[in-house]
Amino acid sequence: MGIAELRVQAQLSPKQLAQIAGISRATLQRLEQGHFGNLRTYERIAYALQTDLANILPEFKAPSRPTSEDLLKDLLANSGSAAPEDMPELPAGNWSPTRLTDWLLCPAKGAWSTGVFDVPSDFEWPTYERAAVGKAVHKYAESRLGGEDPNAALLTVADTTVGMDPELWLPFVEAWDASIHLTIGMPQTIEQRLEVVLGGHRITAVIDVVDENGTIRDLKTTQRLPNPISTARESLQAPIYVAAWRETTGEMASFALDYLAHHKSGIDYVQMPISVTDTDIDRVTRQLDYAADLASRPERIIPNPINKYGCTSCAFLVLCHEKFGTLTLDAPRQTVAVS
CA pair distance 127, 132, nearest whole angstrom: 8
Could you say which of 47, 79, 111 is where a domain stops? Answer: 79
Give which of 104, 111, 23, 93 is closest to 283, Cα–Cα.
104
Size (the chain), residues: 339
| C-beta atoms surrounding 187 within 10 Å | 16
Provide the β-strand partners of residue 274.
255
Q: What is the pLDDT of residue 42?
A: 78
Contact 309, 105 (CB under 8 A): yes
212: left (phi over 0), alpha (psi -120 to 50) or beta: alpha
Mean pLDDT for the stretch of residues 83-101: 77
Predicted confidence (pLDDT) at residue 87 exceeds the cutoff of 80: no
Please tell me whether residues 144 and 197 are part of one structural domain.
no
Instruction: Decide if 84 is inside a domain.
Output: no
- Ranges of beta strands (E only) in 229-284 are 254-263, 266-274
Distance of alpha carbon 285 from alpha carbon 91, whole angstroms: 20
Class of residue 140 by CB neighbours under 10 A (exposed 0-12, middle 13-18, buried 19+) = buried
**Average pLDDT of the residues in 225-230:** 92
Residue 156 lies in a domain: yes
pLDDT recorded at residue 36? 62
Instruction: Give the lowest-confidence range in 82-91, 134-143, 231-240, 303-312.
Output: 82-91
Considering only the C-alpha atoms of the chain, give the largest distance between any 2 of them, rounded to a whole number of Å: 74
Q: What is the pLDDT of residue 334?
A: 46
Domain final position from 44, 79, 114? 79
Residue 102 has pLDDT above 60, yes or no: yes
Q: Which residues contact 258 (CB under 8 A, 6 or more apart)?
A: 180, 217, 218, 219, 220, 269, 271
Which amino acid is present at 69?
Answer: E
- With contact defined as beta carbons under 8 Å apart, do 184 and 211 qualify? yes
Domains of the chain: total: 3
3-class DSSP assignment, residue 264 = coil
Kindly tell me if the per-residue pLDDT of 243 is higher than 70. Answer: yes
| pLDDT tens for each residue of 202-212 | 999 999 999 99
162-179: pLDDT as tens digits: 889 999 999 999 999 999
- Report CA Rg, the chain: 23
The average confidence (pLDDT) of the chain is 84
Residue 85 has pLDDT above 60, yes or no: no
Which residue from 34, 41, 44, 46 is spatially nearest to 10, judged by alpha carbons? Answer: 46
pTM recorded for the entire structure? 0.71
pLDDT at 198: 94
My answer on whether 75 and 224 are in the same domain is no
Residues 287 and 104 sit within 8 Å (Cβ to Cβ): yes
* pLDDT at residue 89 in the model: 78
44 and 135 housed in the same domain = no
Query: Average pLDDT in the 309-314 region?
Result: 78
Judge whether 170 and 137 are in contact, CB under 8 Å: no
Return the minimum-mean-pLDDT range out of 23-32, 45-54, 181-190, 296-305: 23-32
Instruction: Based on the fold, state whether residues 334 and 241 are members of the same structural domain.
Output: yes
Of the residues 137, 159, 178, which one is the last residue of a structural domain?
178
Query: Domain range spanning residue 146?
Result: 127-178
Say what the pLDDT of residue 33 is.
77
At 52 the pLDDT is 83
- CATH number of the CATH domain containing 49: 1.10.260.40
Give the span between the Cα atoms of 169 and 171, in whole angstroms.
6
Give the burial class of 197: count Cβ atoms within 10 A of its Cβ; 0-12 exposed, 13-18 middle, 19 or more buried. buried
Give the span between the Cα atoms of 240 and 195, in whole angstroms. Answer: 9
Amino acid, single-letter form, for residue 48: A
The per-residue pLDDT for 309 is: 67
206 and 168: one domain?
A: no
pLDDT at 19: 76
Q: What's the pLDDT at 328?
A: 64
Check if the beta carbon of residue 218 is closer than 8 Å to that of residue 254: no
Contact 234, 104 (CB under 8 A): no
CATH code for the domain of 224: 3.90.320.10
> Could you tell me which residues are beta bridge partners of residue 293?
none
Provide the strand spans (E) within the chain.
Answer: 189-198, 201-210, 215-222, 254-263, 266-274
Spatial separation of the C-alpha atoms in residues 23 and 56, rounded to whole Å: 15
The predicted structure's pLDDT at residue 75: 44
